C-alpha cells in the first residue's frame, strides 16, 4: 500500500514540515518508509552564528535548520508507518520517559528528543508537559570537512535534494518510530 502523510510543526509554521511516505514493495523488496524534512532557510546572520558554532564543534539546541515540534494528534498517523515497517508485530512501548536518539541522511544528522518541562502553577502544584522535537544539524567531521560544509552552508546550500533532505526508515528502525509514537501519546 502506498501512503503519504504530512506532519506540520506544533507552531503551525508550514515551513517546519516532515513528509513520510511508502511505496508498494514487490515480493522481494524490503519495506521502506521514505522521509523528507523541509530544510528551513535562515537569515545570513543566523547562518553565520550557526556556521561558527559548527566549525568549533558546538551544536545548536534547535539544530542548524530549525526544529520541528511534533503534535500529539500525529501519533496514530506515525504509528501506521511503524506498523508498515514491522507488520504490527512489535508492541508499542507504553513507558514514557525522556529519550533521545539520532539518525542520519546522506548529509545531515537528525536528533529526536522527548523532553519534559515542569513549572509551578499559582496554586503551588507542579505541571509537567512533554515536547517532542526533531532537529537537523550538519554532519560532524574533521575540521577540513566542517570548514567545507560551513562555506557551502553560508552560500545557501542546504541539501543535495534542495529545500528538502531525504532519509529512509528500514524495518530495523520501526522501534524508533514506535518510541516516537509512545512519546507523542504522552504529550
pLDDT score recorded for residue 92: 55
- As a whole number of angstroms, the distance between CA 187 and CA 175 comes to 19
- For the sheet with 33-38, list strands across it: 3-8, 17-22, 33-38, 164-169
pLDDT score recorded for residue 183: 85
Please identify every stretch of the chain with a pLDDT value under 70, giving residue numbers as ranges. Answer: 1, 89-97
**What is the DSSP code string of 24-66?**
---TTSPP-EEEEEE-----HHHHHHHHHHHHTTPPPTTTTT-
pLDDT score recorded for residue 21: 94
Residue 186 makes CB contacts below 8 A (sequence gap 6+) with: 96, 114, 130
- Where are the domains positioned within the chain? 3-186
Mean pLDDT of the chain: 86
Count the Cβ atoms, other than its own, within 10 Å of residue 158.
Answer: 22
Dihedrals phi, psi of 126, to nearest 5 degrees: -105, 130
Residue found under cell 514514557: 96
- As a whole number of angstroms, the distance between CA 36 and CA 162 comes to 11
pLDDT score recorded for residue 134: 92
Return the sign of the alpha-carbon dihedral for residues 47, 64, 69, 186. negative
The residue among 100, 163, 165, 108 whose CA lies nearest residue 141 is 108
Coil, helix or strand at residue 175: helix
Amino acid at each position: 500500500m502506498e501512503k503519504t502523510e504530512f506532519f506540520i510543526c506544533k507552531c503551525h509554521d508550514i515551513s517546519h514540515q516532515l513528509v513520510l511516505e511508502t511505496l508498494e514493495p514487490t515480493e522481494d523488496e524490503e519495506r521502506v518508509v521514505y522521509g523528507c524534512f523541509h530544510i528551513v532557510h535562515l537569515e545570513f546572520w543566523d547562518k553565520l552564528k550557526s556556521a561558527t558554532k559548527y566549525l568549533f564543534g558546538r551544536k545548536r539546541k534547535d539544530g542548524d535548520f530549525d526544529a520541528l515540534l511534533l503534535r500529539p494528534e500525529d501519533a496514530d498517523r506515525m504509528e501506521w508507518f511503524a506498523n508498515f515497517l514491522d507488520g504490527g508485530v512489535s508492541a508499542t512501548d507504553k513507558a514514557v520517559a525522556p529519550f533521545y536518539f539520532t539518525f542520519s541522511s546522506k548529509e545531515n544528522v537528525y536528533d529526536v528528543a522527548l523532553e519534559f518541562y515542569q513549572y509551578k502553577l499559582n496554586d503551588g502544584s507542579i505541571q509537567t508537559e512533554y515536547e517532542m522535537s526533531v532537529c537537523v544539524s550538519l554532519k560532524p567531521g574533521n575540521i577540513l570537512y566542517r570548514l567545507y560544509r560551513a562555506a557551502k552552508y553560508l552560500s545557501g546550500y542546504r541539501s543535495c535534494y534542495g529545500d528538502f533532505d531525504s532519509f529512509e526508515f528500514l524495518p530495523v528502525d520501526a522501534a524508533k518510530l514506535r518510541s516516537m509514537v509512545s512519546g507523542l501519546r504522552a504529550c
